[in-house]
Structure 1
């Protein structure tokens, strides 16, 4: 069904681009001929999704099928609009999609040794730190005459490929934080062991502060911290085992809230005294400063032009938006499909987060922590990206998961989906731990 919807959207969009070109409208995709010429890459995307579904049915037969359907639909729609914005990116995005589907299947295979990965948080932490460092060194910010240009943490690998290391670093950092919480009883003293839940959140807070100072990326910093902190605060069961001392939920909540307050105060101080962040806050509060070419203002005009039902697929003007293929892909979709299309996209993300929360609720011990973290990181990325485009929150570096252009971001988010599918399969398997009996059973 997802393949049918994606192929139909592609055909309608290509016809719209053709009509737009016929009437003399500008099109950043290079004309209808170039968009129709990407149909072969569309076939590769659909085939990759079908192959991933076969592999999942083979190796994770008890996983939630609806999760892959929603992700496949988002990936397909995203590829169509990336190709519509710039047909030259169709091949790159198709390769990223195929790598993403491969990452889902690879995560299923790696999840068989999930506890082995969680037992080595140091290695995961070093990998995440390296990715964050690469992204920070390749980015930059420009503050002049009161205007602010968001930092672009894109690493150029030649003229044909650019990647954003932050997209993959987020999921690796969250895995490291979850592993640190699981392995904390091995190296903490007996008096500190009951407070092990704050270990992962504290490590994530330190990494988030470093990302905030070096990269000036407020959204990624908050996402990494929240994705590591939120599961610990929500979960009420012991995450390691009955042989480890526990503490009351109220005591643990106070410890975690202390980490949250400390992080929030640090962010507030940095936003006040750090020019790269204070300019970002001022630009959010008053986007009309040097409004000519301002990205958020252009996005607002594009969404307004779309109205309720949109101007029609392929009939918009994404060439007026900077980074339309990545950071402002939601504005492109809202212009051509209208508020209804944007709302449908948000509904898909809400459903995805709900499915992930259900998987986490049925998981056991540390797997519950990891499932909640993987769900949180996808949902928070979508929230911050859309809210930044709509100016509900400051616009920072961010790409809509599964939809926007970004090879490493696609791979990282698909790794999170693969972990969710693996945890879902393990939780619902007949040979797993006893599940809740039906109401009719004694």
Structure 2
């Protein structure tokens, strides 16, 4: 009885739908808590918000069922939960800011409706990428084009006038009227695609061993070109765009991708040493780097100074207020932290959800990245492995840089948390990242197409007996009629009388 392996392997789509419903329920409960604590009332509008949120992600689920049926069933629910909690916190901060604006007699424009629109647009882009990219390996054809566009996207804000590229001291934006775009978010994905394609074609170059110094096999000097270019590029971003987070994010992703491709830790060590040396040089040359380091070492010492440690100190105060269990959604004061809905949204979540709630959110990020890494291990082609590894690590690296800056583990960085923070550029870019991960996971989990079965050769024991006439001089010496039997034995045919050997001639 023949079986179909595609039917035997469960796609997990029912589990994905159940998890999406559960994530939407958590988001809806969070909205209810915010409404009850802030407005002391419950309106039917909150119910409609929850149903609309579920409907949007149900549409994405149906698209995955059609275009990527074997995709990992945990990736989309993790994204839905993170995006939903970000919407809840942005809405909660809007309520607090609107209250403050009312007391001051000023006007306030809420950000939550804009973020909802960006979420819908990002999901539409997600579906477009998923529908257009039928095979992730086709992306490798455009690797060098992606690298060129990515470098231009990173460098463009640095060469534009500050009036259309600088926000809060960082030149990482392009402002077109009321619309602001952060090209570095898209450059992140483009550069990951480029390095994945480059490392696949030049992987042997990175595996060549140079000299041995103190028992360590160092790479050859002429093979350090890509790492040197990456280091110089990141230092340029740090110097001209005044953005430590982007420099750290780009360089960390590049190093991990090189390690995944070569499995040589020496590349990571050399890269970290070069990056550290560049940071020391940048600290001695640029005042804004010195200011970031001073705020990191002692934010209270520069608390009242312009560009000082006020934001970091307020974020730490909020985390301390939340403690282990948090103040409760809608019961804290996250509006006391500048840029609470963007750079410091994890501080706002930590205040109202506490250490437990913030740790749970970080665990969702960890699950998302681990499922991507699992797809990287399971996919059959090298480009897919390196690409999925780079995309998955980008999520972890970005949230590490964000939370590290908020908790004073590293200097303040100024980048956004994926799916949580306010911002259209971040949402659009990260949903493209998720679409590529889902496409790779579909290829990794899809059963291999079985090859056409070949007919088995008939065993020699079951073969028919064949009579063979062997002429004199070519077979047996007596020229008997034999047969091919088992084990290759040849003997006289049944019922055949042997011929007499002709008499030998004279001499």
User: What's the TM-score once normalised by structure 2's chain length?
Assistant: 0.71
- Tell me the equivalent position of 1:390: 407
> Compared with structure 1, are the counterparts of its residues 319 and 416 closer, same or farther at alpha carbon in structure 2 (3 Å cutoff)?
same
Given that residues 64 and 421 in structure 1 are in contact (C-alpha distance below 8 angstroms), is that contact kept between their aligned partners in structure 2? Answer: yes
CA drift at 1:269 = 1.7
Matched, 1:6 2:27: yes
The one of 53, 59, 65 aligned to 2:67: 59
What is the CA deviation profile of residues 52-108 of structure 1, one whole-angstrom value per residue up to 9, with x for unaligned ones? 111111111111111111111001111111111126212211122122222332332
CA drift at 1:51 = 0.8
Query: Any residues of structure 2 matched to 1:282-297 within 5 Å, and which?
Result: 282-292=294-304, 294-297=310-313
SS for the counterpart of 1:156 is strand
For 1:49 and 1:224, locate their aligned partners in 2 and report how far apart those are by CA, in whole Å.
30
> Compared with structure 1, are the counterparts of its residues 119 and 198 closer, same or farther at alpha carbon in structure 2 (3 Å cutoff)?
farther
Given that residues 155 and 163 in structure 1 are in contact (C-alpha distance below 8 angstroms), is that contact kept between their aligned partners in structure 2? Answer: yes
Given that residues 41 and 91 in structure 1 are in contact (C-alpha distance below 8 angstroms), is that contact kept between their aligned partners in structure 2? Answer: no
- Tell me the equivalent position of 1:420: 437
Matched, 1:375 2:402: no
Larger deviation, residues 170-179 vs 48-57: 170-179
In the alignment, structure 1 segments of 5+ residues that lack a partner are 20-31, 142-148, 237-248, 435-442
> Compared with structure 1, are the counterparts of its residues 259 and 335 closer, same or farther at alpha carbon in structure 2 (3 Å cutoff)?
closer
Given that residues 200 and 382 in structure 2 are in contact (C-alpha distance below 8 angstroms), is that contact kept between their aligned partners in structure 1? Answer: no
Given that residues 180 and 200 in structure 1 are in contact (C-alpha distance below 8 angstroms), is that contact kept between their aligned partners in structure 2? Answer: no
Which protein is richer in helix relative to its size?
Answer: 1
Query: Any residues of structure 2 matched to 1:285-434 within 5 Å, and which?
Result: 285-292=297-304, 294-363=310-379, 364-431=381-448
CA drift at 1:417 = 1.2
Given that residues 78 and 403 in structure 1 are in contact (C-alpha distance below 8 angstroms), is that contact kept between their aligned partners in structure 2? Answer: yes
- Tell me the equivalent position of 1:163: 181
For 1:107 and 1:433, locate their aligned partners in 2 and report how far apart those are by CA, in whole Å.
29
CA drift at 1:185 = 8.0
In the alignment, structure 2 segments of 5+ residues that lack a partner are 1-21, 96-109, 210-218, 452-507
- Tell me the equivalent position of 2:86: 78
- Tell me the equivalent position of 1:145: none
What is the CA deviation profile of residues 332-364 of structure 1, one whole-angstrom value per residue up to 9, with x for unaligned ones? 111111111111111111222221221111123
Larger deviation, residues 371-380 vs 106-115: 106-115
CA drift at 1:198 = 6.1
* Equivalenced residues, count: 397
> Compared with structure 1, are the counterparts of its residues 286 and 50 closer, same or farther at alpha carbon in structure 2 (3 Å cutoff)?
same
> Compared with structure 1, are the counterparts of its residues 268 and 10 closer, same or farther at alpha carbon in structure 2 (3 Å cutoff)?
same
Given that residues 45 and 98 in structure 1 are in contact (C-alpha distance below 8 angstroms), is that contact kept between their aligned partners in structure 2? Answer: no
For 2:298 and 2:128, locate their aligned partners in 1 and report how far apart those are by CA, in whole Å.
45
For 1:430 and 1:164, locate their aligned partners in 2 and report how far apart those are by CA, in whole Å.
39
For 2:61 and 2:415, locate their aligned partners in 1 and report how far apart those are by CA, in whole Å.
28
For 1:331 and 1:415, locate their aligned partners in 2 and report how far apart those are by CA, in whole Å.
26
For 2:369 and 2:237, locate their aligned partners in 1 and report how far apart those are by CA, in whole Å.
25
Larger deviation, residues 161-170 vs 423-432: 161-170
Larger deviation, residues 326-335 vs 207-216: 207-216
For 2:296 and 2:449, locate their aligned partners in 1 and report how far apart those are by CA, in whole Å.
49
